[in-house]
Amino acid sequence: MIAGSYPNSRPRRLRQNEWTRDMVRENSLTVKDLIWPLFVQEGNNASVDIPSMPNVKRWTIDLIVEQAAKAYELGIPAIAIFPQTPAELKSDEGYEGVNPENLICRTVRAIKSQVPEIGVICDVALDPYTNHGQDGLIKDGYVDNDLTLEALVNQAHVQVSAGCDILAPSDMMDGRVAAIREMLEEKGMPNIHIMSYAAKYASAFFGPFRDAVGSSNSLKGGKETYQMDPANTDEAMREVIMDIDEGADSIIVKPGMPYLDIIERVTKELNFPTFAYQVSGEYSMIQAAAANGWLDLEKSMMESLMAFKRAGASGIWTYFAPEVAKKLNG
């Protein structure tokens, strides 16, 4: 690295005007970097506030279609949808997840019929559908990896049959990307994109999300036997490489800000499309601090997203997406 010495070199020369700062800016954030996660619920013409996630709602299908149209108009390239499954439809085996008429499948069909241009991402995991809140099937008190794979493959199949563009397996079972990719090839769907949660940590920052999908009260036990240890980095690289080898087209690091080092390492060492998920806890912390007057909401929102770009992320899943898009669009 070249660095001059004072007074011949004065780095502040490049900072004195907005236009000079723009000229030498190393990273940029655009609307095309954004993915907007949305929550869907049963019913008609209704929305419900999520108390632990200020300004985030659950929408019925008719209203979530309107949100999809809003995203498209703002230039956001893709949305990700997550269901609040009614308690009576949850089971030990998560059967509702493989029901082709479940809430997610009906939502995908509605969105693609009315806003076909927007990319639709579906979560592949069983936790919205199990009464124990785990991402997989339990056998002898343990989340059984291989028993879960068949259910995940069936879940992925009903989602792509409904019109899903991108499958995002978040379950962290070993071998699930390979199993899903094999199914897609066999079913004549080779062009379906898999964006895997390759490095998903057993994090304390997921709490508000579980409120949003209604799994907080049903979750029995932790997820440390399949989600990653927050102390590990080399393990994340192994997970990412395995998912790439199994047929993933892009990967996600989740959470985002506490794991900027993982994003940077993956992008520098592997040069592979990598997305950051600014999770519910990150979002809610910024909102809460701003509500108390401790942070400027807009500035901290934009700064937090630029951190992901600086670390090398190809794009960002964020609940701030519509607000950020409006600001970037001027």
Tokens standing for 2? 């070249």
Residue 14 lies in a domain: no
Are the C-beta atoms of residues 206 and 279 closer than 8 Å to each other?
Answer: yes
100-122 pLDDT, tens per residue?
A: 999 999 999 999 999 999 999 99
180-206 pLDDT, tens per residue?
A: 999 999 999 999 999 999 999 999 999
Q: What is the CA radius of gyration of the chain?
A: 20
Range of the domain at 145: 28-328
Q: Is 254 in the active site?
A: yes
Helix (H, G, I), strand (E, B) or coil at 120: strand
Q: Which residue matches tokens 């940029």?
A: 28
Residue 248 lies in a domain: yes
Question: Is the sign of the CA dihedral 123, 126, 127, 128 positive or negative?
Answer: positive
Residue 13 lies in a domain: no
pLDDT on residue 251: 98
Tokens standing for 117? 């241009």
Does the predicted TM-score (pTM) go above 0.85?
yes
Residue 36 lies in a domain: yes
Are the C-beta atoms of residues 124 and 155 closer than 8 Å to each other?
Answer: yes
Cα(147)–Cα(139) distance, integer angstroms: 8
Helix (H, G, I), strand (E, B) or coil at 259: helix
Closest CA to 222 of 201, 208, 202: 202
Residue 18 lies in a domain: no
pLDDT on residue 211: 86
- Other CB atoms within a 10 A radius of the CB of residue 42 amount to 15
Total structural domains within the chain: 1
Residue 21 lies in a domain: no
Q: Is 268 in the active site?
A: no
pLDDT on residue 216: 66
**Which of the following is catalytic: 254, 268, 326, 327?**
254
For the chain, what is the total number of helices (H) and then of strands (E)?
A: 11, 12
Report residue 204: phi and psi, to 5°. Answer: -80, -5
Cα(40)–Cα(49) distance, integer angstroms: 12
Residue 294 lies in a domain: yes
**Which of the following is catalytic: 112, 200, 223, 309?**
200
Residue 310 lies in a domain: yes
Are the C-beta atoms of residues 49 and 57 closer than 8 Å to each other?
Answer: yes
Residue 23 to residues 14, 27, 31, 308, 309, Cα–Cα distance (Å): 9, 11, 20, 21, 17
Give the chain's residues under pLDDT 70. Answer: 216
Task: Identify the CATH number of the domain in which residue 266 sits.
Answer: 3.20.20.70
| 173: amino acid identity, one letter | M
Tokens standing for 9? 């070199």
